[in-house]
């Protein structure tokens, strides 16, 4: 019995995929679409940098979640804080992964603001791209939400009291009933405590990452449909 050549196996796999989904067509559209000459300017690279940073945050966040324990515990014995210390000081390359995640989050906010400034400066928010601008604004709010919820997870004094201030500011949203609702949803009780940590962890690890991935997909589909906008 003759052993099939690896190339024949690859072609068979590709043909099997193409029968069930236009795999080859999708790859060709992604790799061989012509980029306009004006998009070679350096300021058109900011969106790609934002995408790379988001992927980096998702990957490092997955590794951190392997060892993080979202349990406030008792005063002086917090599994959440101890797990952060373990990642930082004991786990192999944990300090690097946490450092990349922390600084990547800060750089990501800056790059999103720079990217949106470029979009505004070049007039790329105008019709028919106004819906994509709205998606970009939602992505910015989602990234800010990720920063807010992730800030509490180390469960140290700085994170605790900073989150208290943030929740109190959210509770001042008018009308008073809406502010009280926001404060209750964020804190999970009368004060910042174990329920707050659990809620922030769930939002930070499950809800907002799923939302940012969905928004990125919609954002890229809009770009594919309308093309790259020319500068004014």
pLDDT at 199 over 90: yes
Q: How many helices (H) and strands (E) does the chain have?
A: 10, 0
- Summarised one tens digit per residue, pLDDT across range 176-193 is 999 999 999 889 888 889
Contacts of the segment 206-215: beta carbons below 8 A, 24+ positions apart:
208/142, 208/145, 208/146, 208/149, 209/58, 209/61, 209/146, 211/142, 212/54, 212/139, 212/142, 212/143, 212/146, 213/58, 215/135, 215/138, 215/139, 215/142
Average pLDDT, the chain: 91
CATH 1.20.810.10 fits 43-226, yes or no: yes
Return the SS3 of 21: coil
- What mean pLDDT comes out for the span 130-157? 96
Return the SS3 of 35: coil
pLDDT band at 214 (very low <50, low <70, confident <90, very high): very high
Q: What is the pLDDT of residue 17?
A: 86
Among residues of the chain, what percentage have pLDDT more than 90?
67
CA distance 23 to 34: 19
- Summarised one tens digit per residue, pLDDT across range 68-81 is 999 999 877 899 99
**Which is higher by pLDDT, 74 or 216?**
216
**Which is higher by pLDDT, 122 or 57?**
57
Q: What is the pLDDT of residue 120?
A: 92
- Summarised one tens digit per residue, pLDDT across range 8-63 is 888 888 889 888 888 788 878 777 778 888 888 888 899 999 999 999 999 999 99
Q: What is the pLDDT of residue 74?
A: 86
Q: pTM here? A: 0.89
Intra-chain end-to-end CA distance of the chain, in Å: 65
Q: In whole angstroms, how far apart are CA 33 and each of 26, 27, 124, 150?
A: 11, 10, 20, 37
pLDDT band at 1 (very low <50, low <70, confident <90, very high): low
């Amino acid at each position: 019995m003759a052993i099939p050549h690896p190339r024949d196996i690859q072609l068979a796999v590709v043909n099997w995929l193409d029968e069930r989904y236009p795999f080859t067509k999708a790859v060709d559209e992604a790799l061989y679409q012509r980029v306009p000459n004006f998009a070679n300017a350096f300021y058109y690279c900011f969106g790609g940098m934002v995408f790379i940073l988001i992927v980096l945050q998702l990957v490092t966040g997955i590794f951190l979640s392997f060892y993080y324990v979202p349990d406030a515990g008792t005063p002086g014995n917090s599994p959440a804080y101890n797990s952060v210390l373990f990642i930082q000081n004991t786990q192999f390359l944990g300090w690097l992964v946490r450092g990349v995640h922390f600084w990547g989050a800060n750089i990501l906010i800056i790059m999103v603001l720079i990217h949106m400034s470029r979009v505004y400066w070049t007039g790329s928010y105008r019709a028919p791209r106004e819906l994509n601008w709205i998606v970009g604004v939602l992505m910015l709010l989602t990234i800010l939400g990720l920063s807010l919820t992730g800030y509490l997870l180390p469960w140290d004094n700085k994170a605790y009291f900073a989150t208290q201030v943030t929740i109190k500011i959210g509770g001042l949203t008018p009308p008073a009933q809406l502010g009280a609702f926001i404060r209750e949803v964020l804190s999970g009780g009368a004060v910042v405590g174990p329920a707050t940590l659990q809620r922030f962890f769930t939002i930070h690890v499950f809800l907002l990452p799923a939302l940012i991935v969905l928004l990125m997909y919609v954002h890229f589909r809009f770009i594919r449909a309308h093309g790259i906008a020319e500068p004014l």
